Amino acid sequence: MPRKDVEIPLDTTSLSDEQLAAAAAREGSDGPAFTALVDRYQQRVYRICFRLLGNEHDASDAAQEVFVRLFLHRGRFAGRSKYSTWVHGVAVRTCLTIRRGRTRRKRWETLVPEQSVGESTASHGGEAAAEMLDLPQMLDTLDEDDRALLIMKYAEGHNYDALAEMFGLSVSACKMRISRARQRLKQRFPEHEF
């Protein structure tokens, strides 16, 4: 008869993310299931944080905060979506909170008035204008949620169902917001294709 105080080691390599999440919810602070989840997701979470925050230092801080939140709320994963969708949603919300709270980012409109964008494009010619603006600067003209939606849709490749789960919206609301954000970019930067 096995002793009750001896734990059977958990084979984390053969378990799905959802199975590991359920095991992590039951284990203590140094359990192998949560450690395995961190190992599986740390690169993806960092990449999302970097794309949303734009620099290594903030992305590293945010990724660490994401895993702290995942650990503290590990019992809240209900299994209504894939575990990866839940993790990405926590990462997005964490990054949006950091961006709003730090107020480091300066909006493009405050640096260059709307009218001067068109004037500078015309005065510098097509090639020079394309070099002056890059995609992160263009995305920074959008509000935080719309910017994050576009990044998660096009850079991370999430479908509308996953986006709806992450952002707490309906699928149709996600489609509408992404369409409107793309339209705003087309209006602001007609020389670029979106």
Tell whether the model's pLDDT for residue 122 goes beyond 50: no
Of 40, 42, 10, 38, the C-alpha closest to 26 is 10
The model's pTM is: 0.73
Instruction: Return the domain boundaries, the chain.
Output: 12-102, 109-188
Could you give the CA distance from residue 97 to residue 155 in angstroms, rounded to a whole number?
Answer: 20
Tell whether the model's pLDDT for residue 89 goes beyond 50: yes
CATH fold for the domain made of 12-102: Rna Polymerase Sigma Factor; Chain: A (1.10.1740)
- Which pLDDT tens digit goes with each residue over 126-150? 444 444 567 888 888 899 999 999 9
- Which pLDDT tens digit goes with each residue over 166-190? 999 999 999 999 999 999 999 999 8
Do the domains 109-188 and 12-102 match in fold?
Answer: no
In CATH, the number for domain 109-188 is 1.10.10.10
- Which pLDDT tens digit goes with each residue over 29-55? 678 999 999 999 999 999 999 999 988
